């Protein structure tokens, strides 16, 4: 084990069930965490059984009954302390993200910073959970709309952002007065344990448990039970479209709520008048960052024909300079894919590209030999494509960039929108009309639309999520906090009469009543 893993309190064998304290011996099978860097075992986790699941849900439900009545600013103060602990552990936590997931060190630390930012955001939010005062049509009546905690929510996260996405949900849900149960990806259990340990320390200082809960386990023992459990009024899940369809179906059948952030097939449109230096940098980071394993990864590039050849040449030259290797090395620009299956999926996608008439312009090789023993390292690929290729309509979670050439903005938008997913999008242009058209109802059909910046790197102040097959959910900023609360319309009659709405008259007056 690496020294910094031990420093975070990760042992050779860890409990994967936490609720403020730890279940010493969960009854589920043992899970091994391997590093995609070298393929070696990091540590093992005892996973949750169905019995462990029931125990933790009871703890969360019990904690909710008192947590919901804690004043929101007090809840915010506790979240502020969690954010401070994350600050103290930023570098070492970032290293663990890199070791277990494979993203480069700068991105690993950036993910921890995102948790810190979400804590800060949620602290401010804890004093702004506002309702409305509404004019009543009845005299001597006051009508208002207020928000109450929702309950115990389920949080399902993916391997590519093993802790940041948890914070998008957990920090806001906590200040809203909810308790939560977190099911992390089985590919990145140790980062979840490390973050849960930090939350446990803070909650213990306040004599609390059961607000932040962790259940590491299989889809059968944890995942399927969560989505079918009526005690969890909301399930927030990040993952594939297929996973989202399953969750939406099961949660919807029990009339629960689901918040889904699913696949992305994001495109950048570059017009003839664009700043190509700016565009090429955004494309490179968007397509290569996190080895193409972001939901906001740039997967398609739509270029106006006047700059297509020049921009293509620039990108090929840049791609050939991308240093692939150990993500803990500060000189590395792209680390490994999460596992060998991911690398094989990329190779299969490139074979499909050739079958469908696409042309591989550079990259797309599986790296082997010294330093690449894990079988997870690839070189990022650029593919000359055409819109009729079925593979470009799919989200391949790997660094493959498809290039298209178009005549004008209308054709670019048509190609841009012609995929099932609708998460993030961008246009590079100096023309105000083109900018506004891209942002108009006739432009991008995505939940995120940018001008002269790339598709990845969303700020927490704006609600994050997408349309179509991306799920329609929104997390993080704006008014997304409302997803974690229930709305209540309340009316107070401070008069001496009982007028009905819509002027309805019903029954005799008290003086006319006959017993």
**Gyration radius of the chain over CA positions:** 25
Write the DSSP symbol of residue 179: E
From the centroid of its chain, how far is CA 68?
A: 25
Long-range own/partner contacts, residues 272-275 (CB < 8 A, 24 or more apart): 272/304, 272/305, 272/306, 272/307, 273/429, 273/430, 273/431, 273/434, 274/307, 274/428, 274/429, 274/430, 274/452, 275/428, 275/430, 275/452
Beta strands at 424-428 and 421-422: parallel, antiparallel or unpaired: unpaired
pLDDT score at 512: 57
| Terminal Cα-to-Cα distance of the chain (whole angstroms) | 84
Sign of the alpha-carbon torsion through 86, 89, 90, 94: negative
Q: What is the pLDDT of residue 305?
A: 97
Please name the residues in contact with 252: beta carbons below 8 A apart, sequence gap of 6 or more: 258
Q: Is 368 among the residues known to form the active site?
A: no
Residue count of the chain, please give it: 515
* 231 in Cβ contact with 241 (< 8 Å): no
Active-site annotation holder among 107, 111, 261, 395 = 261
- Please say whether the beta carbons of 338 and 187 come within 8 A: yes
User: Exactly one of 81, 107, 176, 295 is catalytic; which is it?
Assistant: 295
CATH class of the 266-460 domain in this structure: alpha beta
pLDDT at residue number 162: 97
pLDDT value at residue 78: 98
Give yes or no for a contact between 327 and 336, defined as CB atoms under 8 angstroms apart. yes
Residue 510: predicted pLDDT: 57
For residue 35, give Cα distances in angstroms to 246, 338, 340, 375.
Answer: 29, 8, 11, 11
Axis crossing angle, helix 72-88 with helix 164-176, rounded to the nearest 10: 150
Token pair in block for residue 279: 């565009």
Name 18's bridge partners: 22, 214
Residue 326 has a pLDDT of 97
261 annotated active-site: yes
Cα separation, 112 vs 123, in Å, equals 17
pTM score, whole prediction: 0.95
> What does the pLDDT read at residue 461?
92
Domain boundaries, the chain: 3-262+472-488, 266-460
Residue ranges in the chain whose pLDDT is less than 70? 1, 508-515
**DSSP three-state, residue 298:** strand
Picking from 305, 306, 312, the residue whose alpha carbon sits closest to that of residue 280 is 312
pLDDT, residue 217, reads 96
In this prediction, residue 3 carries a pLDDT of 83
Burial of 341 from C-beta contacts in 10 A (0-12 / 13-18 / 19+): exposed
CATH topology (fold) of 3-262+472-488: Aldehyde Dehydrogenase; Chain A, domain 1 (3.40.605)
- CA 281 – CA 271 distance, rounded (Å): 15
Q: Give the angle 425-289-265 at the CA atoms, nearest 5°.
A: 35
């Amino acid at each position: 084990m690496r020294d910094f893993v031990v420093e975070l309190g990760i042992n050779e064998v860890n409990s994967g069930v936490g609720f403020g304290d730890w279940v010493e011996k969960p009854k589920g099978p043992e899970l091994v965490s391997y590093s995609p860097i070298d393929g070696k075992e990091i540590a093992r986790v005892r996973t949750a059984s169905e019995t462990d699941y029931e125990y933790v849900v009871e703890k969360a439900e019990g904690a909710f009954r008192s947590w919901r009545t804690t004043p929101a600013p007090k809840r915010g103060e506790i979240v502020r302390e969690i954010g401070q602990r994350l600050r103290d552990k930023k570098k070492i936590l970032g290293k663990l993200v890199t070791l277990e997931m494979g993203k480069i060190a700068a991105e690993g630390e950036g993910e921890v910073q995102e948790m810190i930012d979400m804590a800060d955001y949620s602290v401010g939010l804890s004093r702004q959970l506002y309702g409305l005062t509404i004019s009543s049509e009845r005299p001597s009546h006051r009508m208002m709309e207020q928000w109450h905690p929702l309950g115990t929510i389920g949080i399902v996260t993916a391997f590519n952002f093993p802790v940041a996405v948890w914070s998008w949900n957990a920090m806001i849900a906590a200040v809203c007065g909810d308790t939560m149960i977190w099911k992390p990806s089985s590919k990145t259990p140790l980062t979840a344990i490390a973050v849960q340990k930090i939350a446990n320390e803070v909650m213990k200082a306040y004599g609390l448990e059961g607000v932040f809960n962790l259940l590491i386990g299989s889809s059968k023992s944890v995942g399927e039970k969560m989505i079918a459990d009526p005690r969890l009024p909301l399930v927030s899940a990040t993952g594939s479209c297929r996973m989202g369809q399953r969750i939406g179906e099961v949660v919807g059948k029990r009339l629960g709520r689901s918040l889904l952030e699913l696949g992305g097939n994001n495109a950048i449109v570059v017009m003839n008048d664009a700043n190509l230096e700016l565009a090429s940098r955004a494309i490179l980071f968007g397509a290569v960052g996190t080895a193409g394993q972001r939901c906001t990864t740039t997967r398609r590039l739509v270029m106006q024909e006047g700059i297509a050849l020049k921009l293509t040449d620039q990108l090929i030259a840049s791609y050939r300079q991308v240093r692939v290797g150990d993500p803990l090395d500060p000189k590395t620009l792209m680390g490994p894919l999460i596992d060998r299956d991911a690398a094989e999926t990329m190779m299969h996608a490139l074979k499909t590209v050739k079958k469908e008439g696409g042309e591989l312009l550079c990259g797309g090789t599986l790296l082997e030999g010294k330093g690449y023993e894990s079988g997870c390292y690839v070189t990022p690929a650029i593919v000359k494509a055409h819109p009729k290729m079925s593979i470009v309509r799919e989200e391949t979670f790997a660094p493959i960039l498809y290039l298209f050439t178009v005549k004008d903005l209308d054709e670019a938008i048509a190609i841009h929108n012609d995929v099932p997913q609708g998460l993030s999008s961008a246009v590079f242009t100096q023309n105000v009309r083109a900018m506004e058209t891209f942002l108009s109802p006739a432009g991008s059909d995505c939940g995120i639309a940018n001008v002269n910046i790339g598709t990845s790197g969303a700020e927490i102040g704006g609600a994050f999520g997408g349309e179509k097959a991306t799920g329609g959910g929104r997390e993080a900023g704006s008014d997304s906090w409302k997803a974690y609360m229930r709305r209540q319309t309340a009316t107070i009659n401070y008069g001496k009469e009982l007028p009905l709405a819509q002027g309805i008259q019903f029954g005799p007056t008290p003086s006319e009543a006959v017993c």
